[in-house]
Amino acid sequence: MITFLALFVLSISPSLAQAKDGGHVSLLVSETGLDLAKDFLIHKVISTTLPLQLPEIEKKVKIPLIGKVQMGLTNIKIYAVDVRSSRVETGGDGIVLSISGATADVSMDWSYAYKASFFHIADHGVASVKVKGMDLRTTVSLVGENGSLKIASRHSDCKVKSIGIHINGGASWLYQGVVDAFEKKIISTVEDTVSNKILEKMRSLDAKLQSLPKEGKIDDNVAVNLTFTGSPVLDDSSVEVGINGLFMANGDGGKKVSGSISPFLTPRVKRMVGISIEEEVFNSATLVYFIAKRMHVDIQETKNGSALSTSDWKLILPELYKQYPNVKMMLNMTVTSPPAVNITKNGIDAIIDLEISIDVQNSGAVLSVARISVVLDVGGTAEIAANNLAGSLRLKGFNATMTWSKLGDLQANYIQDVVSTILESLFLPYVNTRLMRGFPLPFTHGFKIKNTEIVYVENGVMVCSDVAFG
């Protein structure tokens, strides 16, 4: 379960402010999410553990009227388990998984040998055992250490109420002999083997948790800081894990870009999981991409794929067409400072400083004919695309100033019309195409999210969702 939670759970709780080192991204797994995790765990453990080999058992058994007989049980395997009832609890003791009333099917080979003064007899065959009333309780506590999660303590206890043994072949005395000699031993062997196997998986899990990557590569320039911040927060119905979550230059080794941790409260999660992303994460992304000089676009074609031409602009910018009729043109757009993202309960807003350069091809040479400085006021909408957090921008307003021109003194309305056309027809569609690719949410392979709800809160966005296998 902890493997599942550590990878599946990277979001937030309504009590994130409890943690002194709360992350910029955190994940809350609610009670229904924990039930899903529990069912996943049980299925995963059974499918990856069975058949489970048990130690061989040998014993000399005194049979009435016969004497001492050497008996042995070999090739003992648990090959099927049926879980009828299970539950998961969280709290001060850690995460507790309880299974009650389970049954298991065991196969084995039996053999015996009896030696007397003048003769020797031996036989062998197969037997099956039905394990009844098997109860299992596993407790694990997690702590954060050096940006990783560590299993601080683990305990597993298995109890079996009774077994039923069926012997194939052999004399009637053999059955009673096996029952008398081996019933308690078979029960204790099952209990010890199951408990030890769970602890073995916990040790393996601890190593995997501490080897989880501390940064996630987004592309060649940018990564996300995945270091855990503090220990998981447990209450009676949820588990919460926080991570740093800030964007950074690829290969910075888990260093955060800027900003301080300022956790915010969120509403009670009504879905299986709630992923909370602070405003600081978005601003760290814009900063890192700006530093990496990735906020630049050259557009030479219209949306339908045809080359941009001054003839397309003769009504919007007649002076451009007059001086350079029917020639190819390019629009070079560069963000001149990291966009500032602001998130409130009403949604996402951002201010973008943009410089637009209008270039033309004249006699084979590229000439810059005008440069416009624009301050954009945009609104953002977060969306879910597959298992990615995507989004789009819409223009709320802008202020444009011609900073340099070979086209003479242009009227203000021409400048506004030109910029409006560039932004609405070319710049925003280009940006939104890339934003809709999205960034992956922290869900492991084999799971998909559904019934997603996006909630805007002060200084952050919360993604609440159910999760399904498949």
User: CATH no. for residue 79?
Assistant: 3.15.10.10
CB 282 within 8 A of CB 245: no
pLDDT at 445: 64
pLDDT at 66: 66
Q: Which of 79-88, 162-171, 194-203, 341-350 has the lowest mean pLDDT?
A: 162-171
How far apart are alpha carbons 265 and 102 in whole angstroms?
41
Nearest C-alpha neighbor of 22 from the set 269, 284, 276 = 276
Burial of residue 363, with CB atoms counted within 10 A of its CB: 0-12 exposed, 13-18 middle, 19 or more buried? exposed
Among residues 182, 211, 240, the one where a domain terminates is 211
Alpha helices in 330-462 (DSSP H): 412-422, 428-435
Among residues 211, 233, 248, the one where a domain terminates is 211
- Residue 312 and residue 424 in one domain: yes
Q: Which of 7-16, 36-45, 304-313, 418-427 has the highest mean pLDDT?
A: 418-427
Among residues 184, 211, 238, the one where a domain terminates is 211
CATH number at residue 298: 3.15.20.10
Number of separate domains in the chain = 2
The better pLDDT of the pair 172, 94 is held by: 94
Question: What pLDDT band is residue 50 in, cutting at 50, 70 and 90?
Answer: very high
Question: What pLDDT band is residue 78 in, cutting at 50, 70 and 90?
Answer: very high
CA trace torsion 195, 199, 202, 203 (10° rounding)? -160
- Residue 206 and residue 298 in one domain: no
253 C-beta neighbours (distance < 10 Å), count? 11
At residue 231, does pLDDT exceed 90?
no
- Residue 127 and residue 271 in one domain: no
Which residues constitute the domain of residue 37? 25-211
Residue with structure tokens 């002060």? 458
pLDDT at 424: 93
Q: Which two tokens stand for residue 43?
A: 């299925």
CB 374 within 8 A of CB 416: no
Q: Which of 141-145, 252-256, 402-406, 447-451 has the lowest mean pLDDT?
A: 252-256
The better pLDDT of the pair 253, 344 is held by: 344
Q: Is the backbone peptide bond immediately before 51 cis, with ω within 30 degrees of 0?
A: yes
The whole-number average pLDDT for the span 166-187 is 74
- Tell whether 19 is covered by a domain: no
At residue 6, does pLDDT exceed 60?
no
- Residue 165 and residue 264 in one domain: no
Nearest C-alpha neighbor of 239 from the set 197, 272, 281 = 272
pLDDT at 26: 85
Question: What pLDDT band is residue 40 in, cutting at 50, 70 and 90?
Answer: confident
- Tell whether 42 is covered by a domain: yes
Question: What pLDDT band is residue 86 in, cutting at 50, 70 and 90?
Answer: very high
Nearest C-alpha neighbor of 369 from the set 290, 313, 430 = 313
| ∠ Cα 337 342 345 (to 5°) | 165
- Tell whether 231 is covered by a domain: no
- Residue 404 and residue 310 in one domain: yes
Alpha helices in 96-247 (DSSP H): 172-210
pLDDT at 253: 59
For strands 215-217 and 340-344, give the pairing: unpaired
**What pairs with residue 94 in β-bridges?**
91
First to last CA, the chain: 18
CB 217 within 8 A of CB 250: yes
CB 312 within 8 A of CB 403: no
Mean pLDDT of the chain: 84
CB 27 within 8 A of CB 5: no
Task: Give the burial string for 391-422 (b: 16+ CB within 10 Å, else e).
Answer: bbbeeeebebebeebebeebeeebbebbbeeb
Nearest C-alpha neighbor of 134 from the set 201, 189, 174 = 189
- Residue 302 and residue 390 in one domain: yes
Q: Which two tokens stand for residue 252?
A: 């910075």
Burial of residue 166, with CB atoms counted within 10 A of its CB: 0-12 exposed, 13-18 middle, 19 or more buried? exposed
pLDDT at 152: 85
- Tell whether 33 is covered by a domain: yes
The better pLDDT of the pair 122, 411 is held by: 122
Question: What pLDDT band is residue 174 in, cutting at 50, 70 and 90?
Answer: low
- Residue 168 and residue 46 in one domain: yes
The better pLDDT of the pair 138, 169 is held by: 138
- Tell whether 20 is covered by a domain: no
The better pLDDT of the pair 62, 280 is held by: 280
Q: In this predicted model, what pLDDT tens digit does every residue of 233-281 receive, in sequence order?
A: 888 888 888 889 899 988 765 544 333 334 443 445 678 888 889 999 9
- Residue 92 and residue 191 in one domain: yes
